Structure formats: structure tokens, C-alpha cells
Structure 1
């Protein structure tokens, strides 16, 4: 099938790389909800500290999408993300990447990030706008739109520097069409035949054409938002 609809993760990582490069060398950064610390390598110019609650084992409750294996042996801090045992103002930057949907109370996490950051500190967050059940049972929200960030970041003393939609309505549908063969096989015990596969390819072509002429459908639906904010409250 066409690659259309498959750029969700790639775009997120490229955006994260660009933002992290703008954080001054030597800054102390907390990777909140670090998991397997896959972004440690992007922080070679920074003092990197990892945190996670360290309960997910890759298998979860067996429902939805699971990784199968999850390694968290080398975390710097093991704690609840809304109560991290570090002094206030300990960090110059915090990143929290694709974590909010796994938090029972993400607003409390935002408030904790405000406590932990120095004035002028950077907060870098990505989370899905819409997501399938994954890492269950630790999956509490399907996603977050722009208004969530605008409201709760301001309330916690942050100024949003950049908020960028990742993809658009048509790309999101394309992503899910790519999943149809696997999901049909898993939940319907059904394998698509040649003609059904052609139908999916044709649908992807239609969506790709629409995406090329898109003028703002991300406000309806997208993969997720990428947010860079700065703490302003004294």
C-alpha cells in the first residue's frame, strides 16, 4: 500500500529533535513518563533525567495494542508523575512524549511540571488527538485537542510558544485504513482477498488526493498536537 498515512511517528520525532536542539546545552531536562528512554539520544547536549511509574510490562491486560516487551531497568526516578520527589525549580526543561493518554489526571501532571520547572523553563509535550486502546490497562483517554492545552497550560502558568497539529483528518483516516487487514484478522478471523485489498488502496488514493488540497481539516481530527511552552509564572 501507499505510504500515505504512515508518517505520524516520523513527523513527531523530527519535531522533537528540532525543539530539543533549541534548548541551551547543559540544561537539565526531565523526561517525564520516559518508558524505555527512547529519546535519551536526542538529549546528548543536555543533562538528562528519566522518570516513569515503571508498572507497564509490555503485556498489560492483553487487550488492545501491547508491545510484548518493555524494559525500564535504568530509570533515574520511579514515581507517580503527579508527585515526583524532586525539589521545586529543579529543571530547565521537561519533555512528556505520548504520555498524557496514560495518565488518570493529566492536569495534575501539568501542575507538577510547573512546580518542577524554573521560571522560563521549557515544557515539550506531544499526545494523540485520537488513539486506539494501547498499553491497557494504563490507557485513560483517547486524546487531547488544542483547547485542552490552551486552557490547562495557561492555568498552570505556561505560555504556549508553538502548537502544531501532526497530520490532518485525511491522514488519520489513512493510518487507520492501513490497520484494517490486521484488525479484521484479529477480531473477525477474516483475511482480505485481492479485490478487497484493491478497494483499500483506492480509498487511500482518494484520501491522499484530499490531503494534498487540505485547508485546515486538522481542526477536526489529526494524529496529535506538538506543544512547546515556557513557564512564565513568578
Structure 2
């Protein structure tokens, strides 16, 4: 499989190593200022770029018939436009706020717990995420996905807010940026008598990178449409 890496930061470099170890060729390595390249030399593209570049990268792939996997967060105000273009071009697209197998299991666990807690109004939910100091967006895309999972499965909440919630129906997300932390996410339900906490801790970036390559392998096999990691992993 010939892979184009759109974004060649730490994640892009980790993805390159894993892709090569799995027998693939990295035919393009595009950094943020690169614009003169032919995306059609690739069988599939993996985008871990910047929020300002992601939508342009994705549309370039879709306009040229190249399946694209994106893990860039912070650009989702244009997500619906990307979906519409994918359908118009009969293309193939996967976006995930997190490609880690463990995190995607955690997403599903979060939904189950949120549903179980729906009738227990004495518990208040809070969330915390910790990432490295070079992460640009806050809260993380993973934290937003977790908050949306609670909102979809627990009628006590209808919104999330960064740091401090201004209403009882809003979930506060505390975002911390510390050192070189790959990613820690926790959801806490607390009452006056006890607390229930679930947490996912990434020890390194390998899980994110491997999941992105696995998604690219899956998407490149004559797929058309818009998919998620649930489709890739059969969750």
C-alpha cells in the first residue's frame, strides 16, 4: 500500500515507522508549508496535520479519488462539508478523534456508564483530560467525543463547557497541558457518598499510530462512504 502522510510531526513520524514495519511504502511526507505535490501517487492518505490545514488536505484527497484517514482535531466546524464532498465524489473517508483501540473501547464503556447513571441525579459528572504542552486545541477531540457520548446517553446533560460548567445540565471539562503526556482522559461521577471514575491512560503514541495505519489498510480496500473506528474495529 502506498501511503501519503499529510502532516509530518511526531505523530506522522511514528505512523511512518509503523507503516513501513507492516510492509507499506510512504510515498509522500507533506509538512505544513508543502503545497506542490501530487496526491494521486498514493493509494491512501493519513492526515495528522494542523487544524488550519486538515480540511484542505481532506478535500484535496476526496477531489482526487484518494481515500483519506484523518486524526486531526480542531477543524470540525467544516466536518459536514467534508462529509458532503465525500458523498458527492463517492469517496472514502474516516475521521476519528482518537485511533487507539483502547480509547475506542473506552468510548463504548463511557456510553454504557452514562446510560446506567441516567436515573441517578444525585451524581454529577465531570471530565478531565491531560496532554502534552504542544497540543494546540483544548479540550481534546477525544474529550469532546467522550462528552458527546455522555450527552447522547444521559438526559441529565445537554452540553459541555471548558473548565467550569455554568448550569447543572452542562459537563465541565478540565484541560491540562503538562510535559510530554501522550493523553489521559477520565470521567468522574460524584455524589455526597461516593464516586465512580473511569480512566484511559496512553503510555505512548504507538497505539494512536497503529490504529491510524489499520484504519488506512481497511479503508483502502475498495470502500466508499464515511466511516468511523467502530466500523474498522467491528465494535
Give the TM-score category using the shorter length: 0.3 to 0.5
TM-score, structure 2 as length reference: 0.39
Compare the two structures and name the one with the higher strand fraction: 2
TM-score, structure 1 as length reference: 0.39
